[in-house]
Amino acid sequence: MSPLLKNNPRFKVPGYLVGPILILIIAMTYGSLGSEYFLDPSSIIFNTGRYIEIGLLALALTFVIINGDIDLSVASTLAASAGVLAKLFESGVPIFWCCVASIFTGLVLGLINGLIVIKLGLPSLVVTLATLALYRGLTQVILGDGVVANYPENFVGFDQRLVIGGNPGLPAPLALFIVAAIIFYYILHRSNYGIKNIMSGSNPSSSNFSGISVDRVRLLAFALSGTVAGICAVMITSRLGSTISNVGLGLELLAITAVVLGGTDIFGGRGAISGTVVALFAIMAVREALVIQDINGQVQDAAIGLLLILTVLVPQIRSYYVEKRNRRKRFNEAQART
């Protein structure tokens, strides 16, 4: 073999991307059997509009989960932020300031989650499970059973706007998601905060001794998650053109599934933005393929739930057998030396 080939090995797909890519291929193949238009570029790009909020939530949740925490309240934070936006608009506040208030509400609610978890030393699973119900209840109090609509025309329909025209074109939400993914990739993999985030999740005690403020890193991750939820509240309100108290219900399951399926360790210390992005499109393909095949919503939810369980269990089972094999190897080596 020539030195040139030795110095330039073939590109290898990272291990954490293998699962999402396989699921994506299988789902797209299955969907194409139900409709010849399933793989049409225009159809694919059009369908992304319903998943951009999930994708943005997942990008922010990647930081939280890498820390070893979890935020189950992201969808409820989104709903409460949307409720504040709607209530202010009903009161005659200009839509721009309603959007600012929505984002600020998300930031505050994210900080509340982080402060309770860090200052009281409570598990984030328990805290955010409680705030999931609390924030959703607050939304119900703010909006009641009514619907807020009649938003300005220049605000509604953000998902229909094109950054690049033509067929299929580039919708504004997809363009925003691409930009956000690039920014989050840089923050996680190229910035000091990203390094601290990974170190804090892998070994909090050592990180503290190294001079890293683990609590501050965790708090910033919760604040980021809440802020992104506030931004998503603005986007989903613009997309739907109305606001009700159950807006965004169930989005937290899809967002967490995207993060974990993308290779982020649910126990913290490992993760990648690229994995979250690929996993998002894999989930989108699965759901859209099931829709094309006329599978009902309950079965779709069950499929996503099963996917989440498998993405948590499979790596743990693999790690168990790898460790078992390594122990046997070390034992055999010790026996050989004696």
Render pLDDT for 33-75 as a digit per residue (tens, 0 to 9).
888 788 888 888 888 888 999 999 999 999 999 999 999 999 9
Confidence class of residue 162 from pLDDT cuts 50, 70 and 90? confident
CA distance 114 to 122: 10
* pLDDT, tens digit, 9 for 90 and up, residues 199-212: 999 888 888 888 89
Confidence class of residue 5 from pLDDT cuts 50, 70 and 90? very low
pLDDT value of position 2: 43
- Judged against a pLDDT cut of 70, whether residue 9 lies above it is answered with no
Provide the CATH number for the domain formed by 3-337 in this structure.
1.10.3470
- Judged against a pLDDT cut of 70, whether residue 327 lies above it is answered with yes
Domain chopping of the chain, boundaries? 3-337
Cis bond upstream, residue 3 (ω within 30): no
85 is written with which tokens? 């936006």
CA distance 288 to 33: 12
Among 162-166, 213-217, 220-224, 249-253, the least confident range: 162-166
Instruction: Judge residue 218's burial from the number of C-beta atoms within 10 Å of its C-beta, 0-12 exposed, 13-18 middle, 19 or more buried.
Output: buried
Residue 8 CB partners (closer than 8 Å, separation 6+): none
Of 325 and 178, the one with more pLDDT: 178
197 is written with which tokens? 């985030």
User: Model pTM?
Assistant: 0.89
CA distance 260 to 42: 29
pLDDT value of position 325: 83
Long-range contacts of 240-243 (CB under 8 A, 24+ apart): 241/149, 241/151, 241/156, 241/157, 242/147, 242/148, 242/149, 242/151, 243/82, 243/83, 243/85, 243/86, 243/143, 243/147, 243/148, 243/149
Q: What percent of the chain has pLDDT over 70?
A: 96
pLDDT value of position 11: 61
User: Hey, which residues does 171 pair with through a beta bridge?
Assistant: 162
Long-range contacts of 133-136 (CB under 8 A, 24+ apart): 133/76, 134/73, 134/76, 135/73, 135/76, 135/77, 135/79, 135/80, 135/109, 136/76, 136/79, 136/80, 136/245
pLDDT value of position 38: 81
Most confident of 104-118, 137-151, 189-203, 260-274: 104-118
* pLDDT, tens digit, 9 for 90 and up, residues 114-146: 999 999 999 999 999 999 999 999 999 999 888
